[in-house]
Amino acid sequence: MLHVDLDQFIAAVEVLRRPELAGRPVIVGGRGDPTERAVVSTASYEARAFGVGSGMPLRIAARKVPDAVILPVDQEAYLAASETVMAALRAQPGATVQVLGWDEAFVGIKTENPESYARQVQAAVLERTLLQCSVGIGDTLVRAKVATGFAKPAGVFRLTAGNWLGVLGSRPTKDLWGVGSKVSGRLAKLGIKTVAELASTDPQHLIPEFGPKMGPWYAELGRGDGASVVDDTPWVARGHSRETTFQRDLTDPAQVDDAVRELTARVLEDVLAEGRPVIGLTLKIRYAPFVTTTRARKIPDTSDRSEILAGALDLAAGIEAGRPIRLLGLRAEMAMPDDARQGHTPTRGGW
C-alpha cells in the first residue's frame, strides 16, 4: 500500500496561481492580514526554514519572516485541486484509493515493484496538476503513512516489518503517527522514550495509564502494526464543527450568548443537510491570552433545532463569568449509518 502526500499543498496551489511567488516564503492563513487574530494554515518550505508552522499565530509568523507573502485561505481553490489529484490517483491501474483529506490518500495496489508504481503515481499527479507529492510504501497503513515523512519532498520511501525498528527504533515516540507530545510525555513517565522501547512493551503494562483500548493500541503503533487493507468506501462524517476567533475578546455575557447562537446556526446548516440526528455536542472555549478548554455532553438523538440550541447554551452556561474569550467553537456529533466505514487509522475515534 502507498501513502500519497502532496508537498506543501496549500502553498503549492497558491504558487501555481501566482508563479511569481515561486521560491519566496509564502504563508497562508486567515484573511491574509497578520494584524488580525488568525493562525497559519500552511507555509511554503522557504517560510518553514524560518520556523513557521501550521497552527502558529499569523502575527508571530509575520514577525519571523518579515518579507513573507501572506495570503488568505481559499478553500474552494484547494478543494478543486484536491479533487483533481484524487481523480488522477483513481485513474492509476489497479488502484484502490482511500482519501484521508485534501492532500493525502492511501492507494492499495498489487505490484512486484512498488517503487516504480510510486514514481508512476508521482508523474501522473504532476502531469495532471503540476503539484509534487511524496509517497510512502508500507505493508501496513501505519508504516506507509510514517514512510512518507522520510520521502519528503517529492521522494519515495519504504517501511516494512523488516526495517521498521532499524529506521525508527531510536527515534522518540512522538515521531509516530497518532502519538503527540502529550502522549509521548506520559509514555516517558513510564520509562518509554523511544519507538523500540514502545514496541517491546507488554500492552498490558500500558492499560493502567491509557485504558484497555488505548494502551494496547499505542503498543501496536510502536510496532507499526495494524490494518493492511485500503478501503475506498466513501467516508461519512461523524460530525460538523465551526469556530470563530474574535478580533476583540468577548467579556459581556450577552456577546457570548449571541456568539453561541450564531455558531449553532452555522453548525446546524451543515448537520441538518446530512439528514442524521445529533447525538452529542462539544463547546470549545479559548480564554485570553491562549488557554483552551472544552465542555461536552451527549444528548438524546434529535434533529430539532431548538433542542440542539438548548444543549449548546447549556454548555455555554459553564463558561467562567467575566473571563475574556478569544475563540469559541461548536461541534455536533451525529448518529452514524449502519453501513459507514469503520475508522482504522491511528486516531482515537477514527476520522
Residues of the chain short of pLDDT 50, as ranges, are: 344-351
CA distance 98 to 3: 9
Residue 197's domain comprises: 173-220
CATH code, domain carrying 63? 3.40.1170.60
> Would you say 325 and 286 are in contact if contact means Cβ atoms under 8 Å apart?
yes
pTM to 2 decimals?
A: 0.82
Domain co-membership, 330 together with 243 = yes
Of 14, 46, 104, 220, which residue is the catalytic one?
104
Instruction: Please check whether residue 306 lies inside any domain of the structure.
Output: yes
Domain co-membership, 19 together with 69 = yes
Residue that the C-alpha cell 473571563 belongs to:
323
Instruction: Please check whether residue 257 lies inside any domain of the structure.
Output: yes
Instruction: Please check whether residue 233 lies inside any domain of the structure.
Output: no
Cell of 153: 519532498
**Residues composing the chain:** 351
Cell of 90: 483513481
CATH code, domain carrying 300? 3.30.1490.100
Q: Is 104 a catalytic residue?
A: yes
Q: Which pLDDT tens digit goes with each residue over 243-278?
A: 999 999 999 999 999 999 999 999 999 998 888 999
> Would you say 171 and 194 are in contact if contact means Cβ atoms under 8 Å apart?
yes
Domain co-membership, 247 together with 330 = yes
What confidence score (pLDDT) does residue 320 get?
93
What confidence score (pLDDT) does residue 32 get?
95
What confidence score (pLDDT) does residue 178 get?
85
Q: Nearest to residue 205, comparing CAs of 185, 228, 224, 189? A: 189
CA distance 243 to 251: 17
Cell of 57: 499565530
What confidence score (pLDDT) does residue 349 get?
34
CATH code, domain carrying 137? 3.30.70.270
**φ, ψ for residue 227 (rounded to 5)?**
-60, 145
> Would you say 4 and 121 are in contact if contact means Cβ atoms under 8 Å apart?
yes
CATH code, domain carrying 191? 1.10.150.20
Residue that the C-alpha cell 503517527 belongs to:
177
Instruction: Please check whether residue 343 lies inside any domain of the structure.
Output: no
What confidence score (pLDDT) does residue 350 get?
35
CA distance 169 to 60: 35
Each residue of 319-340: b (16+ CB within 10 Å) or e? beeeeebbbbbbbbbbebeeee
Residue that the C-alpha cell 487493507 belongs to:
229
Q: How many domains does the chain have?
A: 4
Q: Which pLDDT tens digit goes with each residue over 46-74?
A: 999 999 999 899 999 999 999 999 999 99
